[in-house]
A and B are shown apart, each in its own frame.
Chain A
Amino acid sequence: MSEPTVRIQKIRRDTVKTRLIIFGTLAFLLLIGSIFSEHLTPYDPYLQDLSNAKAAPSAAHPFGTDRYGRDMLSRVIVGSRASIYSTLLLVAIITMIGTGVGVFCGWHGKWIDTVLMRISDMFLAFPGLVFALAVAGVLGGGLQNAIIALAAISWPKYARIARSQTLSQKETPYLKAARLSGSGTWKIIFKHILPNIMGPILVTSMLDIGTMMMELAGLSFLGLGAKPPIAEWGSMMSDTRSLITTVPWVTFAPGLAIFVSVMIFNLLGDTIRDYADPKSRSSS
């Protein structure tokens, strides 16, 4: 009787592993590609060639050229660095700050929990992008300040998740057993709580990569993020918005790049969640 279930489990397991390898490799290639993006471009992404402006996609320019005659493919490739790395940095910052605050609140409890959670409620009650605009407005433009602005409004979500997860972990018998084993607070947090709550947090941050990419692009569009002529997918899309009816490729090329990278990171997030679930670990 038990054999069929074992086999189904194994097959499921194998597909999860395959998916992990595929999406992990794709994400890795994306990251490596964006590190060496300057060496991968067929043309200089900042070289203007007005005689060849708004050229349609062709063998020489697969994604066409923009209104200054710059090669879109080169710009998309170079833009990956600003887009991907600033997004990853942003997500890493909010994940760490949010998780730290959340675990601290959940573990410590008492008045400090109430104070910090009311502060996070305040942030959640604000319309996010408007608040980010205000922060970026005060700090001035630039990608760095856009990251700070978005980090300031995005951490409470993670703090909420981490806090509720920590609270439920706190009541489990194994945490009591760990305390009875004489483990100190830090050991309990790093060895027992964090590994057990990382799953949902990791998935949230993976799924947030797409959102954050778009929000950074939004701030860039409003002149508070990446400044021209720096190639950044979001600002490239926003800059060429007016040309969408006449030369659609200048908008679609960075859009496609965002779509593909968001998709890869989302699927990777999903797969990591499946893989991290200890119940899917094979029993052999």
Chain B
Amino acid sequence: MEQPILKVDNLTKIFTRKGQPDFAAVDHISFDLMPGECLGLIGESGSGKSTTVNMITRLLDPTEGKIVLDGDDITGISGRELRKVYAKMQMVFQTPTDSFDPRCTLGDGIGESLRNNGRSRAETKAEVARLLEQCGLTAEFASRYPHQVSGGQCQRAAIARALAVGPKLLICDEATSALDVTIQKEIIALLNELRRNHGSELSILFICHDIALVQQFCDRVLVMYKGRIVEKGKPDDVIRNPRNDYTKRLIESIL
């Protein structure tokens, strides 16, 4: 039995606020992601998708549960150990332009993880050029600022940044939602190409609210509703044969 690259076990996040009842944004969810697999996570706004992702990337501390990445429990680690984990796990954000520091060039942003891993300036520069070309841009984009490029180009640069350290897990948090349809298609084509080239070396957790996109891109899909996973399975099965009320409504809404 192959070991999952990511194992999420009973993950829970409860937000407590004074004078208000506790709110479980993510309520005891568990799932596995196998090497080379592309897992879709869909749900409406506020269903807990982003909270889940923030917990997996350890930007947010879970209230309860366990996250196992590539066989290591990363739930409680911090500091240096956590920074090491980020060599295995990277993320592409929803808003491409905002995901780059407005005062740094795209090249600085892409090369930051390489520099942090002890590469020299020259090595980083060459690697950044290679990554940009891999993602369909040219090396000269390295010297541009985020506001000087289009959203689609910026998202390509963001993918280049995510791939810089050679991660095993790539998390796309609504990576295509802020782009228009044609650019969306190009980014999906790029991600598909990456999957082909990396094979079982790269697993993708694809967060999305567009079930049609998930159908054409993902191997498996999880449907989240009010912090719980209400349905899981192959995209085609889920779409043809929804068992949960929310999933039915979701599918009806696009037909």
Given the known interface contacts A182-B116, A182-B117, A278-B147, the answer about A177 and B91 at a Cβ–Cβ threshold of 8 Å is yes
Q: How far is the CA of A195 from the CA of B104 in the complex (A)?
A: 10
Q: Are A196 and B102 in contact (CB under 8 A)?
A: yes
Across the interface, name the chain A residue whose C-beta is closest to B112: A181
Given the complex of chains A and B, what is the CA–CA distance between A191 and B95 in angstroms? 21
Nearest neighbor of A194 in chain B, beta-carbon distance: B103
Residues of chain A within 8 A (CB-CB) of B113 are 180-182
Question: From B90, which residue of chain A is reached at the shortest CB distance?
Answer: A180
* A174 touches which of B57, B83, B89, B101 (Cβ 8 Å): B101
Given contacts A278-B145, A283-B148, contact A180 B57 (CB under 8 A): yes
Within 8 A of A (CB), among B86-111: 86-87, 89-91, 93-95, 98-104, 109
Task: Say what secondary structure dominates the interface of chain A.
Answer: helix
**Complex interface residues of chain A between 256 and 278 (CB less than 8 A to chain B):** 278
Give the complex CA separation of A183 and B102 in angstroms.
17
- Cβ of B148: which chain A residues have Cβ within 8 Å of it? 283
Q: How far is the CA of A67 from the CA of B145 in the complex (A)?
A: 61
Residue A61 is within 8 A (CB to CB) of chain B in the complex: no
Bound complex: CA of A281 vs CA of B104, how far in Å? 12
Minimum CB–CB distance for A131 against chain B, Å: 34
Q: How far is the CA of A179 from the CA of B103 in the complex (A)?
A: 16
- Chain A residues with Cβ below 8 Å from B161 are 177, 181
Report the nearest B residue to A176, measured CB to CB: B59
A176 to B94: give the CA distance in the assembly, Å. 12
Residue of A at shortest CB range from B110?
A181
Q: Which of A172, A176, A178 contacts B112 (CB 8 A)?
A: A178
A191 vs B100: C-alpha distance when bound (angstroms) = 13
Can you list 15 A-B contacts (CB < 8 A)? A173-B94, A173-B99, A174-B99, A174-B101, A177-B91, A177-B93, A177-B99, A180-B57, A180-B91, A181-B112, A182-B83, A182-B86, A184-B83, A192-B101, A196-B102
Residues on the A chain within 8 Å of B117, using CB? 182
Q: Is A279 an interface residue (CB 8 A)?
A: yes
Listed in ascending order, the chain B residues whose CB lies under 8 Å from chain A are: 57, 59, 83-84, 86-87, 89-91, 93-95, 98-104, 109, 112-113, 116-117, 145, 147-148, 158, 161, 165
A181 to B101, CA, bound (A): 13
Chain B residues contacting A177 (CB-CB under 8 Å) are 91, 93, 99-100, 109, 158, 161
The 10 closest A-B pairs by CB, nearest first: A181-B113, A173-B99, A182-B83, A181-B112, A182-B116, A173-B93, A174-B101, A182-B86, A173-B98, A195-B103
Taking CB atoms, residues of chain A closer than 8 Å to B104 are 191-192
The answer for the CA separation of A279 and B101 in the assembled complex, in Å, is: 13
Give the Cβ gap from B15 to chain A, nearest Cβ, in Å. Answer: 15
Bound-state Cα–Cα, A187 to B158, Å: 20
A192 to B100: give the CA distance in the assembly, Å. Answer: 10
List chain B residues, Cβ under 8 A from A179: 59, 86
B48 vs chain A, min Cβ distance (A) = 18
